[in-house]
Amino acid sequence: MKHTEKGKEKNIMDYDTVWPGEGGDAVMIIDQTKLPGTIETIALKTAEEIWEAIYLLKVRGAPAIGVTAAYGISVLAGRIQTEDYDTFLLEVQKQKEYLDSARPTAVNLSWALNRMLCVVKDSAEKPVEEIKKTLAAEAARIQEEDIRVCRKIGEYGLSLLKPGDGILTHCNAGKLAASRYGTATAPIYLGEERGYHFRVYADETRPLLQGARLTAFELQAAGVDVTLICDNMSASVMQKGWVDAVFVGCDRVAANGDTANKIGTSVVAAVAGCYGVPVYVCAPTATIDMETATGAGIRIEERPAEEVTEMWYENRMAPPGINVYNPAFDVTDHTQIAGIVTEYGVARAPYTESLKEIFARKERIDR
């Protein structure tokens, strides 16, 4: 699907997912609830607009939420009218807690906001106006890092694949969920550049259809061979031998490797286990939460019933008053995961050891 802007034909791959508004007074995003029909950019200026955009999934995907919150706190801090450091810190803290409450599962949200708050805490001796500039620079750094990290994940992920492989993915862990390559799609995009010609199966991902509306959309726009399937078709394509590997993203990985990702990921992993298909979780270290021991400690967001009963349908598709359970994520047990692909390499079981080793490597390289 092509769209025209100022006479030049653009497709979704030509847009950033999140970017800073001119003059630093807004966070700009593509409204993902309008995709694939319309590519509409919106400027988020107030705390309520930023919170709502995250809650309503106008911007979504763990890394993209983190980047939006980082630019968001920078925009909000820029508007605080004081020269007094303590007043400034208190106000930034308040805004940080508010934005952090938008969605609970993706750790990137609190990770990015904490990183921004640290900038303020480490700058107590600086004038407030200078701290505001440092915050804007830090938000841009978080985004640049996200691009580099996704590319690295792409390289490590690609080392697990061979030309012509069939890959199944769930939800959208693509460019639209991050700043450029995405996480689970990064090996696909790098493979495409290098002539690997993968065949990708995108689960539609009920109830919010991130696979159909976003993954199928961006992969098709990038020229990837992508086939859309309903969530209940993964067994069918695996049974036929069409899938060599499952690549998914994640919202939070616990210290033992248990992984929270979009609802339905654990079903895909269970099915893949039946057919001997390896499941790889692509995880920036920012999404690995070593403070949470196991998946049982991950808070799973529950969302409104209307997402299941009527959203995206022309008419409501369930009887009025029906009980609905609508968790947005589930936890895939670490035993079902063949590898966790990070920007510092691929962690393998036992994850309690290998994830520690990934962080030790990060420490050595970043020092």
Interface contacts to ligand MRU, rule CB under 6 A: 57, 60-63, 106, 171, 173, 177-178, 182-183, 210, 249-251, 261-262, 328
- Toward ligand MRU, which CB reaches closer, 106 or 119? 106
Cβ 300 to ligand MRU, closest distance in Å? 11
CB 54 within 8 A of CB 109: yes
Cβ 29 to ligand MRU, closest distance in Å? 13
- Toward ligand MRU, which CB reaches closer, 92 or 289? 289
Calpha distance 199→325 (Å, rounded): 33
Is 244 an active-site residue?
Answer: no
Cβ 364 to ligand MRU, closest distance in Å? 25
Calpha distance 123→121 (Å, rounded): 5
Cβ 290 to ligand MRU, closest distance in Å? 18
Closest CA to 106 of 234, 306, 285, 250: 250
Cβ 250 to ligand MRU, closest distance in Å? 6
Choose the catalytic residue: 100, 231, 251, 330: 251
- Toward ligand MRU, which CB reaches closer, 99 or 128? 99
- Toward ligand MRU, which CB reaches closer, 109 or 135? 109
Largest CA distance in the chain: 66
**Total Cβ atoms within 10 A of residue 78:** 15
Calpha distance 171→262 (Å, rounded): 6
Strand-pairing partners, residue 246, are: 168, 279
Residue of minimal CB distance from ligand MRU?
249
- Toward ligand MRU, which CB reaches closer, 117 or 328? 328
CB 291 within 8 A of CB 360: no
Q: Which residues are catalytic?
A: 251
